[in-house]
Amino acid sequence: MSDLKQRSILITGCSQGGAGNALALQFASKGFRVFATARSLKTLANLQEKNIETLTLDVTDASSITALAAEISSRTGGSLHILFNNAGTLYEAPAVEADPARVRALFNTNVFGLMEVTTAFTPLLLAGVSPGFSPIIVNVASVLARVPNPFASAYNASKAAVASYSDTLRLELQPLGLKVKTLYMGEVSTPLMAAENINFGPQSIYHVVEDSVKARTTTHLTKTMGPAQFAREVVDEVLSGKNASIWKDISTSKVLDVTGNQGSSVENAFLNLQGWCIRGITRNPSSLAAQQRPSKEVEIVKADLDDIASLESAFRGASAIFAVTDIYNHFFNPANFAKAQEAGISVNEYACNLEITQAMKIAIAANLPDVSSTLTHFVFSSLSDTKPWSKGRYTWNFHFDGKARVVKRIREELPDLAAKPSTVQSEMPEVKLPWIIADRYIGVYVKVLLENSPRKNVLAYIQTATWCEFWTLWADVRNVKIDIKVVGLGDFFKILPEFFGGSSKTH
């Protein structure tokens, strides 16, 4: 956006401590002329100290809205460049026990007030249209409009109404030169949520869970994103002009194969970090492995690696995805032996093809608009392509080469996603091999990747050792005796079952 100092923005709901207050400060730091509003000027004192223009506004009062529109029009010469509808309130109560008067009051603020403010300021925004610049309306909805939380039915419904209103408004105003963005706001540590505001009462049919609901609210203040961080990220996305929908929750990381060693390691690395919400993805949430996971704080989501639609649903809203595939799940499936024979290839190659297919479905799902709009990092657990560095000697190392082919195909077939992936891999150089304890350390490397810009590749290992050193250590730990014998390639293939690698003549 050019000439930022000539641009103006109106933000509603800017009381100190809230998200609107932080947004006002952040837009001001970008050079905007900021009009910050609240019901009382006393709650805007910190903004006045920063020379931000503060005004009173009650979004439920039509005369207050009209007066503000006239005042801002007189100050700007009749135009406005961004309208940020942030004002909102919260009411928590069981759906069937909610006070109708409080529900109506909530809708008056969250929905009808937002609509009236938009109507009043649209003429000023239309006056701000110029060659190369489209004024913006940002309407604050909530992730709860799409993923509802219990005991907040009125709030959830009001934000769903805002989201639907925004979608329609976008269609109507785009031909006139205005942009409409919907901000799906997640949990931000503001005074909006307070445990003391929750009071089901002893007669409530839910009174036994009231303390748990209050505890959830208390946790919200300690484990969620702060207003300043929220404002920085939101302002950057609003000004980028790329997405009509902005999802800004506590950073959400989707972890595929959360029941495996690598997935559980990523879970452990991020579980206690402030501002991260971990959602584990597995084919069977009721499996023994899923049920026996040590952490109960991670949401388990069902998805099938063979079903793009289920992956898209599981990925939606993620800021980061850690993806891992496993060739050996296919290799040790007895049903695939006959299928490989029918196809005229080894079970190794058949399993590799299945792994590549699943990995590409993961990538395709991550590249869909509803997922990519929030995604900043796509981390794929990869291995190196052995053909180039072996100068063509190794042509059957499907465990390595399949994953390398996936990375290549993402770059060639999904250029938008290719701007986001990072890879973490453990390769096999000659003599000294890099080793890693996957369930303990993979998550550490993934954490480093997400702390940096995308498109970084990491060789993940904690020490090097030859195979002889590895098995000597293994025998010592297991307290068993072993004999280590180096054999030639011909003897090696004689030892292996035919289905494992086949003969060197056919691969």
Domains of the chain by start residue, with CATH:
4-248 (3.40.50.720), 251-428+436-457 (3.40.50.720), 466-507 (no CATH)
**Contact (CB, 8 A) for 499 and 349:** no
Instruction: Tell me the pLDDT tens digit for each residue of 204-236.
Output: 999 888 888 787 776 656 556 788 888 988 998
Q: Mean of the per-residue pLDDT values for the chain?
A: 82
Residue 495 pLDDT: 55
Q: Does the structure show a pLDDT above 80 at 412? A: yes
Instruction: Tell me the pLDDT tens digit for each residue of 469-506.
Output: 777 777 788 787 777 666 665 665 565 544 444 333 33
Average pLDDT over residues 392-414: 85
Average pLDDT over residues 447-455: 71
Supply the angle between the helices 347-367 and 335-343 in degrees, to the nearest 10. Answer: 100
Least confident interval from 55-64, 193-202, 318-327: 193-202
What is the spatial distance between Cα 82 and Cα 34, in angstroms, rounded to a whole number? 10
Higher pLDDT, 385 or 179: 179
Residue 267 pLDDT: 77
Residue 315 pLDDT class (50, 70, 90 cuts): confident
**Contact (CB, 8 A) for 464 and 495:** no
Instruction: Tell me the pLDDT tens digit for each residue of 453-464.
Output: 676 777 777 777
What is the spatial distance between Cα 352 and Cα 123, in angstroms, rounded to a whole number? 60
Residue 101 pLDDT: 97
Residue 302 pLDDT: 81
Average pLDDT over residues 432-444: 72
What is the spatial distance between Cα 198 and Cα 95, in angstroms, rounded to a whole number? 13
Nearest to 346 by CA among 489, 496, 488, 487: 496
Residue 482 pLDDT: 73
Q: What residues act catalytically?
A: 155, 159
Across the strands, what pairs with 377?
320
Q: Does the structure show a pLDDT above 70 at 92? A: yes
What is the spatial distance between Cα 354 and Cα 326, in angstroms, rounded to a whole number? 10
Residue 13 pLDDT: 97
Q: Does the structure show a pLDDT above 60 at 105? A: yes
Higher pLDDT, 102 or 456: 102
Average pLDDT over residues 382-408: 82
Residue 172 pLDDT: 97
Least confident interval from 44-58, 64-78, 362-376: 362-376
What is the spatial distance between Cα 409 and Cα 424, in angstroms, rounded to a whole number? 17
Residue 260 pLDDT: 60
Other Cβ atoms closer than 10 A to 199 = 11
Residue 424 pLDDT: 59
DSSP 454: S
pTM value is 0.56
Higher pLDDT, 70 or 424: 70
Least confident interval from 87-96, 123-132, 188-197: 188-197
Per 3-state DSSP, what percentage of the chain is helix, strand, and coil (rounded to 5)?
50, 15, 35
Q: Does the structure show a pLDDT above 90 at 377? A: no
What is the spatial distance between Cα 475 and Cα 504, in angstroms, rounded to a whole number? 30
Residue 486 pLDDT: 66
Residue 314 pLDDT: 83
Residue 471 pLDDT: 72
Residue 286 pLDDT class (50, 70, 90 cuts): low
Residue 173 pLDDT: 98
Residue 491 pLDDT: 67
Higher pLDDT, 184 or 84: 84
Other Cβ atoms closer than 10 A to 392 = 8
Q: What share of the chain in percent tops pLDDT 70?
A: 80
| Cα angle, residue 76 at apex, residues 74 and 78 outer, rounded to 5° | 70
How do beta strands 463-465 and 433-435 pair? antiparallel
Least confident interval from 20-34, 62-76, 371-385: 371-385
Least confident interval from 41-55, 186-200, 261-275, 388-402: 261-275
Residue 453 pLDDT: 67
Higher pLDDT, 397 or 438: 397
Residue 237 pLDDT: 86
Q: Does the structure show a pLDDT above 90 at 269? A: no
Least confident interval from 255-269, 295-309, 355-369: 255-269
Q: Does the structure show a pLDDT above 50 at 276? A: yes
Residue 57 pLDDT class (50, 70, 90 cuts): very high
Residue 469 pLDDT: 76
Tokens 């194969």 belong to residue: 257
Residue 296 pLDDT: 52
Residue 388 pLDDT: 79
Residue 199 pLDDT: 80
Across the strands, what pairs with 34?
9
Residue 281 pLDDT: 81
Written as six digits, the tokens of 350 are 């058949």
Residue 174 pLDDT: 95
Average pLDDT over residues 177-200: 83
